[in-house]
Amino acid sequence: MLLVTLAIVLSACGSPSPTAFPELEPHGGLPADFAWQFKDGPDFYVYEASSPSHSNCTVGLYFGTAPQFHPSATAQGRAGTLAGHPVVWEESVVDGLHRADTVLPYRHSAAHTELAIHAWVVAPRDADLGLFRASLATVSFSPRGNGPA
The model scores a pTM over 0.75? yes
Query: Using CA atoms, how far apart are residues 72 and 93, in angstroms rounded to an integer?
Result: 10
Confidence of residue 10 (pLDDT cuts 50, 70, 90): very low
pLDDT tens for each residue of 66-107: 998 888 888 999 999 999 999 999 999 988 999 999 999 998
Residue 143 has pLDDT above 60, yes or no: yes
pLDDT tens for each residue of 33-69: 898 999 998 889 999 998 888 878 999 999 999 998 8
Give the pLDDT mean for 135-140: 94
